[in-house]
Amino acid sequence: MANLLDIIQWCNIQLKTNEFKDYAPNGLQIEGRTEVKKILCAVTASQTAIEAAILQKADLLLVHHGYFWKGEAYPITGMRGKRIKSLIKNDISLVAYHLPLDAHPTLGNNVAISDRLELQDIEALDPTERHPIGNIGYLNPPQSPEQFQRYLTDRLGFQAIHLPAAKTEIKKVGFCTGGAQDYISKAAAQDCDAYISGEVSERTFYEAAELNVHYYACGHHATERYGVQRLAQALAAQFELEVIYHELNNPI
């Protein structure tokens, strides 16, 4: 058992949340019971994830995608109102970490992807960033574009979408999980052979060809499964908590 605010303080320090300019508040978004014994983690704070937390009698729901995004309407009504009402009614805290969890060098989504793909010599996709959101790694040995598509599909459990370029060999790989398809221009600036993210836009097809960078869309959800699990496991070790991961099976 641990105190809720001790958990939040530990996470905020580890993830250096005060050093990020983000699109939503990081940390405690909805306050539930003071004492925490069980955490359920999921990628997104959907109604399904909330119902799983209620069913599992979790005290805290830990997610990558929480609420209160910039540009959202202020009234807590409709779908979001139902979600928040369910959390408050069951005294479950909602804790969300977005960019700090993408960028963390051991717990983050990007480092988890590099580990799963066994990429080597990791460096920043954008060297000007204090805490790089994207990274570059190297394949050893190099692969053909077709081999790499199959490799990604196998390692990430998602049917990778390949938008081709002219290069016949892939060694230097840029990557940033989630909806970072527009960072393909940063990958091109760093002379990457390929770039990986989660989602894909219509324009990306042309950008891949014209920038000569193979693009692989590997699922927003699929590429961001790992950060919350790593953070939850770290909390389990630090505070002796029970943690459960709830797979939402989002195909996007």
102 is in an annotated binding site: yes
Region of residue 119 (phi > 0: left; psi between -120 and 50: alpha; otherwise: beta): beta
Amino acid 120: pLDDT: 97
User: Does 123 count as an annotated binding residue?
Assistant: no
Residue 221, marked binder: no
pLDDT band, residue 245 (cuts 50/70/90): very high
Predicted confidence band at 209 (pLDDT cuts at 50, 70, 90)? very high
pLDDT for 250 equals 95
Query: What is d(CA 119, CA 97) in angstroms, rounded to the nearest whole number?
Result: 25
27-30 vs 93-96, strand pairing mode: antiparallel
Question: Please, which pLDDT band fits residue 84 given cuts at 50, 70 and 90?
Answer: very high
Task: List domains and CATH numbers for the chain.
Answer: 2-97+225-245 (3.40.1390.30), 103-223 (3.40.1390.30)
- End-to-end alpha carbon distance in the chain: 35
Residue 1 neighbours by CB under 8 Å, 6+ apart: 35, 36, 37, 240, 241
For 145-185, how does the pLDDT look when each residue is reduced to its tens digit (9 = 90+)? 999 999 999 999 999 999 999 999 999 999 999 999 999 99
Per-residue pLDDT at 86: 98
The span from the CA of 99 to the CA of 211, in Å, is 26
- Tell me the C-alpha distance between 69 and 10, whole Å: 23
pLDDT > 90 in the chain, percent = 98
214 belongs to an annotated ligand binding site: no
The response to whether 240 counts as a known ligand-binding position is no
Are the beta carbons of 123 and 136 closer than 8 angstroms? yes
What would the pLDDT profile of 12-50 be if each residue is shown by its tens digit? Answer: 999 999 999 999 999 999 999 999 999 999 999 999 999
Pairing of strands 38-44, 242-245: parallel
Residue 149 confidence (pLDDT): 98
